[in-house]
Amino acid sequence: MSDARGTGGTRGTRGALVGAAFLMATSAVGPGFLTQTAVFTERLGASFGFAILCSVLLDLAAQLTVWRTLVVAGRPAPPVADAVRPGLGLALTACVAFGGLAFNVGNVAGAGLGLEALLAVPAPVGATLSAALAVALFLVPAAGRAMDRFAALLGFVMLALLAYVLARAAPPLGEAVVRTVAPTRIDPLAIVTIVGGTVGGYITFAGAHRLLDAGLRGVDAVPAATRSATSGILLASAVRVGLYLAALGVVTRGAVLGAENPPAAVFRAAAGEPGVRLFGLLMWAAAITSVVGSAYTTVSFLRAVSPAVERRWRVAIVAFIVASAAIFLTVGRPVRVLVLAGAVNGCVLPVALATMLLAARRPAVVGAYRHPAWLQAGAAATTLVMTGLVAWTVWGLLAG
């Protein structure tokens, strides 16, 4: 899927930098992302702004560590992980592939739910049509550039929809600003959950692998990769902040979001029944871009460990998307699938980030490059926090 070369300056490379940022951001902004934001806003009110602020800092540390390490190494994650410990690359690939498939089933489900709200078509039909569109995207000759433009276009669509609903919701901006830095309630679980939802599993590697495919590698490419990664985090954060403020506006006026579909309730409360259609478009855009990002990134891992997949990567991507749709159509229960998918994906982050953090300290991997101390500290903190949550979750399952 390589369609550009060099460390900057060419039109193709600039397009890849923008595409990588949007690929990462739109991969993060999936159905689960929307639901988490609405639920925690209703629970914490304006104080959820503090959780978002903390998550942005942790997200930046995680993404910048991964992107910079892989770009300097000039190799995708599996061989870099193998350089840390032989066999670790294959183990990481297995984790990402399993988590990516589980998450993609949820993405396909979300696309079906989005078209159901937008066009009143049954969710299975909407999921099938969405999967077919994603497959078609990867069958065009310049698939990399098509993916970049697709992610950017729908990213702008999501921002525009949120801007409209935000204007209708009329949130208390002053209170939101104050509580972002001086919260009345702090919920560590909210912080950990939204960190996992933004940089969990395959999402951490989506943009970095896109840059490698576009030929950006080496120390000279670090500034460009840093800008692209930062842009991706800020784009995803802008969507979260927009939905947070919209939800805060309607909740402040007394709306009850409920448990069935909290983000849809935000749109309905802000814009009436037409708002439900707008939510359907937002949900579909968020889900279909996540289908594309999950398929591309998961197969990029498989390409790195299997020459057969490398030779026929388009077939592998098509098979991955078809399998995701088939599992959803067989299992059904889209809301439950979304919840379970998010849990699986969140478990991948501690392993992946710890591996990249170790790789960033290995001269055999990154040469003379020195990873900034503040990024090392931030990535280590994110790893520890997410490890604690995974351990707590597993303990709860065993005890239950």
- Report how far residue 27's alpha carbon sits from residue 42's, in angstroms, rounded to the nearest whole number: 24
Asked if residue 160 lies in contact with residue 28, where contact means CB atoms within 8 angstroms, the answer is no
Give, in order, the Cα–Cα distances in Å from 180 to each of 177, 248, 387: 5, 13, 26
Residues 197-211: tens digit of each pLDDT:
777 778 889 999 999
The pLDDT of residue 106: 83
- Report how far residue 219's alpha carbon sits from residue 71's, in angstroms, rounded to the nearest whole number: 7
Residues 280-327: tens digit of each pLDDT:
999 999 999 999 999 999 999 999 999 999 999 999 999 999 999 998
* Structure letter (DSSP) for residue 9: -
Q: Which CATH number does the domain 11-399 belong to among 3.20.20.70, 1.25.40.390, 1.20.1740.10, 1.10.3720.10?
A: 1.20.1740.10
- Report how far residue 74's alpha carbon sits from residue 58's, in angstroms, rounded to the nearest whole number: 24
Residue ranges of E strands in 149-232: none
Nearest in space to 266 (alpha carbons), one of 2, 21, 38, 22 = 38
Residues 339-387: tens digit of each pLDDT:
555 556 667 788 888 999 999 999 999 998 999 999 999 889 888 887 8
Residues 121-163: tens digit of each pLDDT:
998 999 999 999 999 999 988 888 888 889 889 989 999 999 9
Token code pair at residue 237: 């954060």
Asked if residue 322 lies in contact with residue 104, where contact means CB atoms within 8 angstroms, the answer is no
Token code pair at residue 88: 């670790």
User: Which pTM was predicted?
Assistant: 0.86
Domain range list for the chain: 11-399
Burial of 234 (0-12, 13-18, 19+ CB in 10 A): middle
228-232, 353-357, 393-397: least confident range: 393-397
